[in-house]
Structure 1
Amino acid sequence: MTNANNVELTSVILVGGGRMGQLIAQKLDADGGFAAEGIYDVTNADELDGRAPVVDLVIDFSNKDALPHVLAYVERTGAALVSGTTGFSDEGLSELRALGEKTRVIHSANYSLGIAALKRAAAQAALALGEWDCEIVETHHNQKADAPSGTAILLLDAVDPDHACEVAYGREGFVGARPAKQIGMHSLRGGTEAGTHEVHFFGADEEVCLTHRATSRQIFVNGAVAAAKRLLEREENGFYTFEQLMFE
């Protein structure tokens, strides 16, 4: 497909009609290199099973319940997939990874370059600070459905990649002294907060706190579209991380 200036356009299907989906649609339109062929949501995702047009790229920021339809569509058409939906089960994530054998796939719970840098910094701090206590705190708007956030889970994986620590999802009652090899995970909800993530490391008489604050969802939109462009440049099928596409 080409535009009026005979420039080749990337055809796109958007899955997710919420705020993120609307912002991504606006970003794609402003970019000028994409042609949106349809917007779907969890309510009509079954239309992907046979009635949707064949496109180059699918961008999915919808609901985990739409995943079976998205997977089936991408497997049938070979479209590249940018997935930003959170709340998947381990089985759902495994299916996404397996799809990388047949096409180009990226899944990330957060498409912010700042968060990607925070993950790297947190991983390095966890190695350097050894036995220090670690707590993760995430804050989001009062309409967010899942807790902890997908980004907080990414940060947990960064500081404890071998899953050697117990995770305490908040604390209540007479819990006693904090045990070693425990990471606290805390979720705050309120107002219109776009997203704040903090990784705290507590040592004897000192603390290190790594923080990222999002002031609008536009940072995730910009990152998702940038990742889509990098993904389309890849010649080999595979399941890619955001960090691989943006930093390597």
Structure 2
Amino acid sequence: MTNILLHGCNGRIGQAITRIIIDHPNLNIVAGVDPNLSVPNSFPVFDHIENCTIPVDVIVDFSTANAVKPLLEHAISKNIPVVVCTTGLSTEDVDFLHEASKQIPVFFSANMSLGVNLLINLAKRATEVLADCGFDIEIIEKHHNQKVDAPSGTALAIANAITDTLDETHTLRYDRSNVREKRPKNEIGIHAVRGGTIVGEHDILFAGNDEVITLSHSAASKEVFAVGSLKAASFLAHKSAGLYNMEHLLDQ
């Protein structure tokens, strides 16, 4: 049995994790951390990570960006593996995450959906086949109207995976409204749509002469991220220090 500390347990995805944990008999949430203590849970909840004294095997984090560094500092002091699922991290946060992984196991992915990460792998393979055939590449991401960052971290992860696959340098274009010119061949367009309650949709268009290939992923609920985070927790619990991601999990 792997005992989990759920950091950000009373957020929407934190609550989704508590609902689906019953489907993972090898995992158990023994404690939670959240500044909001008004939500009833079947496990003790603390208002700050430093106040939690319950032994755990791994921490799953769905909190806020400014809480990630203190969490990692605590995890280092207690030698606890951490699955960091929080998005919107600053460059400094990501740098500290990399430093922390030299001392403890850290799992970090821009998107915790297994399907999205498979989509990224498929995009890399499609790029290998199609880029030399003159196909243009465009990325469209859609999210709910409460999302504050654009483009999404997942769209950027897709774009970075594609550019890493290409032989030559490509420019990411977020806005063409102030450019009066034809589309350069070494450009990848990223388009952000915000509206309603869209959980998350990502399309990758490979547009060639007289044909278009589209790779798509659509999330119907936030439970897809909860499932991925629990898979990651099970994967990470007994790993040695290092930085792990969904590619490691999928390869396993």
- The TM-score with structure 1 as length reference comes to 0.87
Q: Secondary structure at the match of 1:95?
A: helix
Change (3 A) 1:93 1:71: same
1:134 aligns with 2:137: yes
1:28: how far off?
3.1
Q: Secondary structure at the match of 1:160?
A: helix
User: What's the C-alpha RMSD, in Å, of the aligned pairs?
Assistant: 2.4
5+ residue gaps, structure 2:
38-45
Equivalent runs, 1:145-156 vs 2, <5 Å: 145-156=148-159
Q: Could you tell me which amino acid in structure 2 is paired with residue 144 of structure 1?
A: K
**May I ask how many residue pairs the two structures share in their alignment?**
239
Aligned counterpart, 1:5: none
Greater RCO structure (CA 8 Å; 6+ sep): 2
5+ residue gaps, structure 1:
1-7
Q: In 2, distance between residues paired with 1:134 and 1:41?
A: 43
Change (3 A) 1:241 1:72: same
Contact 2:72 2:82 in 1 (8 A): no
1:35: how far off?
3.1
Equivalent runs, 1:1-248 vs 2, <5 Å: 8=1, 10-15=3-8, 17-28=10-21, 31-32=24-25, 33-41=27-35, 47-48=48-49, 50-53=50-53, 54-130=55-131, 131-161=134-164, 164-234=169-239, 236-248=240-252
Q: In 1, distance between residues paired with 2:9 and 2:154?
A: 19
1:23: how far off?
0.9
Contact 1:136 1:200 in 2 (8 A): yes
Change (3 A) 1:173 1:226: same
Change (3 A) 1:200 1:74: same
Residues 86-134 of structure 1: per-residue CA shift (max 9 Å, x gap): 1112232122122111111101121222111111110111111124211
1:212: how far off?
0.8
Change (3 A) 1:13 1:215: closer
Q: In 2, distance between residues paired with 1:30 and 1:116?
A: 22
Q: Secondary structure at the match of 2:77?
A: helix
Aligned counterpart, 2:40: none
Q: In 2, distance between residues paired with 1:174 and 1:81?
A: 43
